[in-house]
Amino acid sequence: MTDVGDFPKDAVSGITPDEWEHLASHFEVGRDIMPHVLGASIGIEYRPARALLLALGMFGLAENYLYVYHVCTEAPLKARKLSEGFEPLPWTCPYCEQSVVSRSELRYDLVCRPTVAIRFV
Domain range enclosing 93: 5-9+16-120
| pLDDT reading at 69 higher than 90 | yes
Structure pTM? 0.88
Q: Give the largest Cα separation in the chain, rounded.
A: 47
How many domains does one find in the chain?
Answer: 1
| pLDDT confidence bin for 97, thresholds 50/70/90 | very high
In tens, the pLDDT along 24-47 reads: 888 999 999 999 999 899 999 999
Question: Does position 2 have pLDDT exceeding 70, yes or no?
Answer: no
- Give the pLDDT band (50/70/90) at residue 54: very high
Average pLDDT, the chain: 94
Strands annotated E in the chain: 4-7, 62-70, 78-81, 91-92, 99-100, 106-114, 117-120
DSSP 58: H
pLDDT at 24 (0 to 100): 84
The yes-or-no verdict on residue 19 having pLDDT over 80 is yes
Q: How far apart are CA 37 and CA 72, in angstroms?
A: 23
